[in-house]
Amino acid sequence: MKYFLIILFFFQSVFAFENSKIDMGKFYINKYEVTILEFKSYADKNKFISLAEINGGGYEWKAGWQKRENWNYITPYGKKPESLLEPAVHLNKFEAENYCKSINGRLPNFDEWSYAAYTQYLKSKIFIKGKTYKFPSGDEAINMNSQGLLNHNKQIDVTKLPQGINGLVGMGGNVWEWVDNQKNNKSLTAGASWWYGGEKTAKEGAQYKPSDFYAIYVGFRCVFDKS
C-alpha cells in the first residue's frame, strides 16, 4: 500500500503541472520551456510523429554534429528521461511553431523574447521595475543551468530551476529556445543551453540555426496575444 501511494503521489505531482502564462503587458509568455509532458499530450492527441523519430534520432555535438539513435523529444538521451518536466527538445522550428498554434499561441519574436528575458516589467522584490539587465538572471550571470554556474551538464526538470527576470524560468541556460526571426532558411535561437557558460545567455549570444534543425540542446516556449 505504501508503494502504491508513493507512485500515486508521483503521477499526481507531474500531472498537476501548469505552464502558467506571465503577463508582459502586450502579450503573455510561458513561465517555463515547453515540457516533454506537454508536447507528448499534443503529439498523442494529434497523432504527431517528429522528424527526429522518423529519421531515427536527433543530434548531439561531438567534434561535429552526430546523429544519436533513438534520441527524440520522448527519449532525449535515447532512454526514459529522469522527469517528464524536462524541456521538449529534438524539435525543429516548424514543429515548435505548430505546437504553439495548437494552444492558440505562437513562437515569440526576438523583441518579445528579449524584453521578457532582460527587462523587469513586473513588480519585484529582487529586480528593479523598468530596468534592462544584461542577463536573464540580472546584472550577473548566476543561478542558471549553464557551465560553471548550476553546472548540471544536461537539461533538467524546468521546475527545479530558479526564477529570473519577470519570474520566468530557464530563459538563460537549460536549452536554447526557438524564436520567430528568420534569415533565409535559418531561425534565431536565444538564451543558450547548458552546454555554454553563463556569458552566452546575454542578448548578443543569440544564434541562427537552420529552421529544420533539431538537437538535444534546443527547445522553445510560447507567447500568447491579448485579445
8 Å CB contact between 113 and 190: yes
The yes-or-no verdict on residue 2 having pLDDT over 50 is no
The 10 Å CB-count burial string (b at 16+, else e) for 86-111 is bbbbbbbbebbbebbeeeebbbbbbe
Chain CA centroid to CA 113, Å: 12
Amino acid at 104: N
Percentage of the chain modeled with pLDDT above 70:
93
The whole-number pLDDT of residue 6 equals 36
The whole-number pLDDT of residue 15 equals 56
Q: What are the sequence ranges of the domains in the chain?
A: 21-225
- CATH number for domain 21-225, candidates 3.30.360.10, 3.90.1580.10, 3.30.2350.10, 3.30.1490.120: 3.90.1580.10
The whole-number pLDDT of residue 8 equals 38
pLDDT tens for residues 38-78? 999 999 999 999 999 999 999 999 989 999 999 999 999 99
Better pLDDT: 12 or 66: 66
Distance CA 78, CA 74 (A): 9
pLDDT tens for residues 74-83? 999 999 999 9
pLDDT tens for residues 106-152? 999 999 999 999 999 999 999 999 999 999 999 999 999 999 999 99
Distance CA 209, CA 220 (A): 13
Distance CA 42, CA 178 (A): 18
